[in-house]
Amino acid sequence: MHRHRVVTICPLASAIPNSGLLPVSLLKKLPVILAVLWMGLVLAACGGLTPSGTNAKANKPLPETLVTRLTAIGSTPGAAMMIRIFKESSELEIWKQTKAGDFKLVKTYAICTWSGALGPKVKEGDRQSPEGFYTITPAQMNPNSSYYLSFNTGFPNKFDRAYGRTGSNLMVHGDCSSVGCYAMTDTQISEIYGLARETLKGGNKSFQLQIFPFRMTAQNLAKVSKSEHLPFWKNIKEGYDRFELTRRPPVWDVCEKRYVFDMAAKSGVQLVATDACPAMTGDAKLVAALAKKQAVDDQVFASTVETLEQRAAREAAEAASATEAAADAEAEKAAIIARNAAIGTFVGDLFGGKEEDVKAVVNPALVAPHPFPRLNRG
């Protein structure tokens, strides 16, 4: 049972001295005015009132199922958040920080559609969806989007700008349609936007967005070993691996036109994206764990590439053999047809020649003779 505390505000009028600046009639109405204001504040704080001018979609409460899930993993709506996107499998993951400090998966959403192919966005109009690491701030949240709700990915970021990449308004949004963006259903973006809103309201200045072409395993990289994007993908794989090992979003920056993760310059200077990386320090244990993991991944990558190349060579040989066999079969079929035609011609010539050599022996001008009358031998 809820208990309501009764607050007496009527005596307030008598407690306010009348200096002659306020009319007596207004002073008499002051308790009522204050009561209305107080009730309004109470209701607004409880969610009973929506302040005028706000967007109902953008302020929609989180579904109870999400709140329950957050509680189950030891997190809260206002806790820090991270989003991961995987193009190839069309998945968007929401991760939330727990009370223990690590991040746990809250929910995975099926991306409605994204445009382009695997690989980063390069220039305005290439219809590519971006890849890389991005930081989302309150200024990038759009409650008045033409695509229900949205937030800007922040492309081009520091890394993208180092390569002169161009593009604008690359969003994660609703409406299930995309030209260079990541489109969700309206129901999905409502939940995603709500989780992001609560994170930013919870005192977090931003949250991290990680976008990958696929899950960054050695096997998956081996499948695209011939791609021009392989060096870039190997670079962002380090950030992926750091999160897999620690379950904490890595702090990223850019120097030498590449991402660096969880590293700080010893001199404390700001990193310049196109300049050489200065001497940097990081967690020695994590660096060792990463080196160990990378050594294993390198072996798996090499063996998988070799296996895939052998398979490709075998399949190419089988395809060539099948093509040769089909060509031989067609040639044999043509030879049989030609042989049968030759035999038919030979037989025709042997027993009467060709059809055009046969001459007519019946003269239609001649009349058949009439038979003699039958002799009467009786």
Tell me the C-alpha distance between 253 and 362, whole Å.
106
User: 182-183 and 113-114 as β-strands: parallel, antiparallel, unpaired?
Assistant: antiparallel
Q: Can you say how many angstroms the Cα of residue 23 is from the centroid of all Cα atoms in its chain?
A: 65
Q: Report how far Cα 57 is from the mean position of its chain's Cα atoms.
A: 23
Contacts of 16 (CB under 8 A, 6+ apart): 27, 30
Cβ contact 169:143 at 8 Å: no
Q: Is the peptide bond before 143 cis (omega within 30 degrees of 0)?
A: no
CB atoms within 10 A of CB 8: 7
4 is a catalytic site residue: no
The one-letter code for the residue type at 141 is M
> Left (φ > 0), alpha (ψ -120 to 50) or beta: where does 135 sit?
beta
Distance between CA 9 and CA 57 in Å, rounded?
Answer: 36
Structure token digits, residue 229: 């994007």
First to last CA, the chain: 145
CA-CA distance, 202 to 189, in Å (whole number)? 19
User: Is 181 among the catalytic positions?
Assistant: yes
**Token pair for 31:** 């308790």
Task: Say which of 2, 4, 46, 181 is annotated catalytic.
Answer: 181
Could you say which of 2, 10, 173, 277 is catalytic? 173
Q: Report, as residue numbers or ranges, the catalytic residues.
A: 173, 181
